[in-house]
Structure 1
């Protein structure tokens, strides 16, 4: 029997309730309100039927790593930008030749990491007459295999985004290093928060760093304790990724 066939409504509702309770407890430890944290279900490799199941269970935010999967699923379950009731987050690395699709179908982009991409997104968003909420991706772990800006380049990059009036620069995103001990990556989450807190908005008034997208299935509680406003949960909700 496949993982997909095992993921019935009761199983998913139980997993969702457990994750939501862990979010509540992490917020309590940090002196925060659970209302400050948005749970994004990462549905990479899963079919649209799983998104529908999760939606019926009460989940409203979904994340995709690949543009082609986002486009296919949004065609069936459109996001707010297309008049639907789901919020689609593009959380994976984005190439410039896919910018048009993201502007057309994604409600949020979590992986802005270079000026050429920003220029293309600005052009596409202007043509679509919309503002695209964007989070700037930061490589806090320093791993060469990961995308994102080095921490020391973030503030200057935010300055350089001033001309792009169709991009709403509203936060930062990161992926911490893989670890079996979430405490080991706490400093990485803290660094992202500090980068947001220390940016002087007078340098670029278009930048309002209200959101921190950080934390996944293995470390989201520590991320919340360090200020995460968006946590991206895949396997803890949906089980092992389908290939």
Structure 2
């Protein structure tokens, strides 16, 4: 058993334990393995243990890995999430190679992704990134602007609005982390209840290595874990 496979099993155990503690079914939480800065072999190692969804922050690096693994056995079954900032000059790369984009925070970017998504591919799955706690160095749109952007994005062709993503500042303790994640969950519920979307969102992407338990307690349906699987960068 490799270190990555062993780490994957430990993370899955953490998710299961956190779900039971929160009174949730572990099947309601997906694990996104964040493989940024690690090579294709590390991804292949994780994939050998059944991990299918991988997150990349750096678009060019991510595309290189996608192409390197696509021709290998099982490579076509991998699901690739762009979780880093998307600039206008990189939207075509994202639209042509990724399955999900979790970091949309501007209508212009969503429109370019919609226009550049090849007709031969399934629709691009979209999460809006929210700067839930107003972090000065964080990407994402203010909570007050989420509903309006969600309505616009949901109308674009070749995109499917799936949910919200947030990366709050590190919290002092479990209760503080739960509280800030709960704010994103409340926003998620409010947008769904508003009636502005043709189909309710189903994905709440919250929690990383340090705070996945708090995120699951607050209602996360997808945790993005890198360090606990692949090691320190």
TM-score calculated relative to the size of structure 2: 0.92
How far apart, in 1, do the equivalents of 2:110 and 2:12 lie?
A: 34
Q: 2:195 aligns with which of 189, 198, 202?
A: 202
Q: 2:153 aligns with which of 152, 156, 161?
A: 161
CA distances 1:91-150 after superposition (whole Å, capped 9, x unpaired): 111112111111111111101100111111111126556411100000012111111011
How far apart, in 1, do the equivalents of 2:83 and 2:41 lie?
A: 20
1:162 positional shift = 4.2
**CA contact 1:103–1:128 (8 Å) conserved in 2:** no
**CA contact 1:177–1:185 (8 Å) conserved in 2:** no
Unpaired runs of at least 5, structure 1 = 1-8
Task: Call closer, same or farther: CA 1:58–1:180 in 2, change over 3 Å.
Answer: farther
CA distances 1:187-229 after superposition (whole Å, capped 9, x unpaired): 2211111111112353231x52100001000000110111111
Number of the residue aligned with 1:5 = none
Provide the alpha-carbon RMSD of the alignment: 1.9
**CA contact 1:182–1:218 (8 Å) conserved in 2:** no
How far apart, in 2, do the equivalents of 1:102 and 1:128 lie?
A: 15
Number of the residue aligned with 2:117 = 125
Off by >3 Å, runs of 4+ in structure 1: 126-130
Q: Aligned pairs, how many? A: 230
1:58 positional shift = 2.1
Task: Call closer, same or farther: CA 1:31–1:126 in 2, change over 3 Å.
Answer: same
Describe the SS at the equivalent of 1:217: coil
How far apart, in 2, do the equivalents of 1:19 and 1:111 lie?
A: 24
Describe the SS at the equivalent of 1:203: coil
